[in-house]
Chains A and B, each alone.
Chain A
Amino acid sequence: MSVVEFRIDRGAGVPAYLQLVRQVREALRLGWLKPGDRLPTVREVVRASGVNANTVLKAYRELELSGLVEARQGSGTFVKASLGSADPHIMAELRERLAGWVKQAHAAGLEDEDVRALLRIVLAEREK
């Protein structure tokens, strides 16, 4: 059974294959996917998500080029490396605190879009 379930936001300004790449990277960062895990086969993704086979292939190739997964002849595509070096406990704790913060923001009348905008601004300021 595969761990990731892909979904395409058809109204997004991001090509579908890049959305799949992002979802795998996200799953790696969050620890839902670990080295050795098998990604669903192209056919499985097509059937389950209604995404074009070439889109899935392109996404897998991109992930392979960046060294995150490897295709093993005849047996599928496997996760090779993990992303993000954070300790899972710390990840869990940060996530919980973020959830609390989001709750606070919502209570203060902020909408999801405001929350995203705030996060973007804070991240952009740190880059400077």
Chain B
Amino acid sequence: MTLRVQGLGKRYGDSWALRDCSFELERGRVTALVGANGAGKTTLLTMLAGVLRPDEGTVEARGRISFVAQDKPLYGHLDAGGMFQIARRLNDVWHQQRAESWARRFDVPLDRRCRRLSTGQQTQVALAVALGSRPDVLLLDEPLASLDPVVRRDVMRELLTEAADTGMALLMSTHVVAEISGVADSLVLLRGGKLVLSGDLDELMSSHSRYVGPPARTPPAGEVVHASHHEQQSAFLVRGGDRPGEPWVTEPVTVEDLVLAHLTGGGAA
């Protein structure tokens, strides 16, 4: 375990932005954090980063944590080189070469003021600063949102390589569900401030199925996550249960099916 979250909660006034949130991040593993806007992703990440104080629950971490927030706070009047100097002073551990090679890899001029860099380049500076501090846990809030598809793919590859090389645990929130498979090992899914699904992605995929058959109110097996009914047929995305026989057809569940079903619910979830 590199980071353990237990019963974490945050309240704004009378309403809970996040509640009863428990999961663990393991060394070298990549976890995707998904949820609709306002589900509590950013609240969770900022608490894990130690920026926001939880109202209940605990975060227990081993090692250093780096956090790249969505708005990527940089000093606009400094260039990337200047940002690295500040980071060197603020961090106990600093790996200059790692930060510089990241910036170079993504064509960020080290001597141009941050405010004059493109949004994508600013993202790269923020990532370079985060990686330069050699984190054991890297938290990224929508890290790739400002990048074009090609750079996006390259950044993901580099981040995965860093995770493999250094054993750092990576937790990243994302809206691009289609890109999760093969990239993330685990999933943490928030809905309305609650953790509704978490665990190993392969296990989650194999414990869910989609059954399609004649109109029915309840599925032939398993616990309903999502149901859809049409005149001629009913379809259920279920968790657990034995594979039903005729007339039901069992279809494999994609990561996207799984995530969307849990995000929209419609069943007991």
Contacts and interface: CB of A to CB of B under 8 A. Distances in A.
The A interface is mostly helix, strand or loop, or mixed, namely helix
Given A10-B255, A50-B156, A52-B30, A43 B181 contact: no
B201 interface: yes
A16 interface: yes
Interface residues of B, number: 30
Interface in B153-186: 153, 156-157, 160-161, 163-165, 178-185
Given A46-B160, A53-B160, A53-B164, A10 B205 contact: no
B251 interface: yes
A47 B28 CA distance: 15
Interface in B204-263: 205-206, 251-257
B134 interface: no
B202 interface: yes
A84 interface: no
Contact of B254 (A12, A42, A58): A12
B29 interface: yes
B157 A47 contact: yes
Contacts of A48: 157
A51 interface: yes
Interface string A44-60: 00111111111100100
A53 B181 CA distance: 13
B29 A13 contact: no
B178 A50 contact: no
Contacts, number: 72
Interface residues of A, number: 23
A43 B164 contact: yes
Nearest to A10: B181
Contacts of B181: 8, 10-12, 15-16
A49 B184 CA distance: 14
A52 B181 CA distance: 9
A54 B28 contact: yes
B28 A50 contact: no
Given A13-B257, A53-B28, A46 B161 contact: yes
A17 interface: yes
Contacts of B164: 42-43, 46, 53
A55 B233 CA distance: 36
A50 B182 contact: yes
Contacts of B251: 13
Q: When A and B form their complex, which 4 residue pairs have the shortest distance between CB atoms, in order from nearest? A: A13-B252, A16-B182, A53-B164, A8-B182
20 contacts: A10-B178, A11-B181, A12-B181, A12-B254, A13-B205, A13-B252, A13-B254, A15-B202, A15-B206, A16-B181, A16-B202, A42-B164, A43-B165, A46-B157, A50-B156, A50-B182, A51-B183, A52-B30, A52-B183, A53-B164
